Every structure is written in structure tokens, then in C-alpha cells.
Amino acid sequence: MKGLVFGAGFIGKRVAEKFNYELSEINVLDNSLLERTLEDTKPDVVINAVGETGRPNIDWCETHGEETFASNVIAAANLGIACSRKGIYFVHFGTGSIYTGKEKNGGFAEEDEPNFYEQTYARTKIIAEKILKEFPCLQLRISMPLDDRPHKKNLIDKLRSYEKIVDVKNSITFVPDMLNTLESLIKKRKSGIYNVTNPGHISNVEIMNIYKEFVDPAHKFEIISDEELNKLVLKKKANGILNTTKLAREGILMPDIHDSVKTCLIHYKKYVNP
């Protein structure tokens, strides 16, 4: 099976490596170029990992609305339309950061209406998700991706650089588990929206305490409240818990997030302490 990944960033490169798919760096806002690329490569699967999350952080999106909209909305729509026309199986990476709170015991399910519109980033991802519902594609909602190798977009690398960390629980996606889940969903040719986060929820403080246990006992950070954090950023952050029952009904059982964080940091240690 031939696959083509658009978006040569953190997630795109990991997907291309995992599945041995071709990685494209073309500008998907150029419809003519996109059409030619699909014609030339003739992929069976197209994966959209194009997206703007901000540089160096999500606050960037608040002052760069046009670029964020183009990357997160127009790029996704162009790919969804082009793949639908050509009958190509299309996978889009969305986000769970369109919810805040817990909603109910199991968290927000796939059919629950998004409730977090305060960030430009979140609004663009909500719009893209709604547009792509009109097309036959698979949408993965991931949240705060954590990986076992260093990258500037890896949650653990971000947390290591912060002097102040808030103690609020969230749903988290461990990237190796996500890649295995994606493989299962592609094999099943599933469509629709799936919450692809590890079961359970964990706070950044918990993650960094595990980091201190397995990687660097000398690491220091200050714990602050969510209210204090909101004073340091342009727009407050979504803190949402996602429901993973739909994946479980498919027979896809990602490990509990606490187990995956430990697995992550055991492997991550070799990169920072060779």
C-alpha cells in the first residue's frame, strides 16, 4: 500500500517513518500543485499532518490569524476535497484541545459539540473538523502529544524548558501508541472521528515527577495554579478529558497514560543521558 504524508513536522515525520510513506513538503494551499502531486504519486492513503500550532507556542496563533487559518482550515479542506474526488483514503490529524472540562465521567465523546472557542488555534481546528465531516475521511483527535525521543513539539521537551508548571489533569497522546492505533484504523479503513488519547488522565506535574524519577532527579520546577498560568499567556489553555470508548469498541486498547509515560521516559532517558 502506497501512502503519502503532507506536513513534514513533528507528527508527519513520525507517521512517514512508521509506515514507510512518502513525505511531501509541497504547499497544499496551491490546488494545482496538489492535484499534480496526487496524480504523479497515486497514493492509496493520504495523511494530513499539516497544521499550525504556533512558534514558539500557541500564543503565536493569536497574532497570526491569517496564517493559522490557512494552515489549519484551508489546507485541510483542499486535501479533503482532492482526496474525495479521486477516491483516495484520507486521514486528518485534528486535536482534542477543542474541549475544556470533563463533561461527564468518561470525558468528552466524539459526538459531543466542542465547547472551547477562546483560542484562534482551537477555532480553526473546530472549523476544519466540521468541514471534513462532509467528506469520507478518518479524523484523529490527538492531545498534547508526548514522544519517547526529543523534539521541540514533544510535550516532555516543552515541560523540561518551563520553570513554572500548572497542576491540571488532561488527556494525553503517547505518539508510539497513537501510531499503532493509526495502523489498526487504516487496516480497518475506518472513517469518522476518533479520540486517540491514552485512557486515563494525568497532569503536567505528575509527568515531570515521573521525569525526575526516571531521567533527572535534580530537575526543578515551580507548581502554579491554572489562574496564575492564565495571567502569563494571551489566551487561556483548554484542559479537557476525552472519552476513548469508541476506540475500545473497535478492539483497540491503548495503554493507560500513566504506564505509557513511564515507558516513554525510560526510552527518552537514553537521548538526554547517553
For 185, what's the count of Cα atoms within 13 Å in the CB-facing half-sphere?
Answer: 29
Closest to 257 in 3D by CA, of 209, 200, 176: 200
Which residues does 78 contact at the CB level (< 8 Å), separation at least 6?
28, 29, 31, 34
Q: What is the pLDDT of residue 274?
A: 53
Delineate the domains of the chain, giving CATH numbers in brackets.
3-148+167-202+239-255 (3.40.50.720)
Q: Are 173 and 155 in contact (CB under 8 A)?
A: no
pLDDT digits (tens, 9 = 90+) for 61-109: 999 999 999 999 999 999 999 999 999 999 999 999 999 986 667 899 9
Helix 10-19, helix 175-187: angle, nearest 10: 60
Residue 217: CB atoms within 10 A of its CB come to: 8
Give pLDDT < 50 ranges for the chain: none
Residue whose C-alpha cell is 472519552? 243
Which residues does 47 contact at the CB level (< 8 Å), separation at least 6?
3, 4, 5, 6, 12, 15, 21, 90, 91, 92, 93
Q: Are 50 and 76 in contact (CB under 8 A)?
A: yes
Can you tell me the distance from the alpha carbon of 59 to that of 247, in angstroms, rounded to the nearest whole number? 32
Q: What is the pLDDT of residue 237?
A: 76
The helix/strand/coil state of 87 is: coil
Q: What is the pLDDT of residue 161?
A: 93
Question: pTM for the complete prediction?
Answer: 0.95
∠220-154-28 over CA atoms, to 5°?
155
Cα separation values, 250 from 105, 185, 226, 232, 233, Å: 21, 9, 35, 41, 39
Element housing 60 (H / E): helix 60-63
Q: Are 166 and 160 in contact (CB under 8 A)?
A: no
Q: Is 85 left (phi over 0), alpha (psi -120 to 50) or beta?
A: alpha
Can you tell me the distance from the alpha carbon of 48 to that of 28, in angstroms, rounded to the nearest whole number? 10
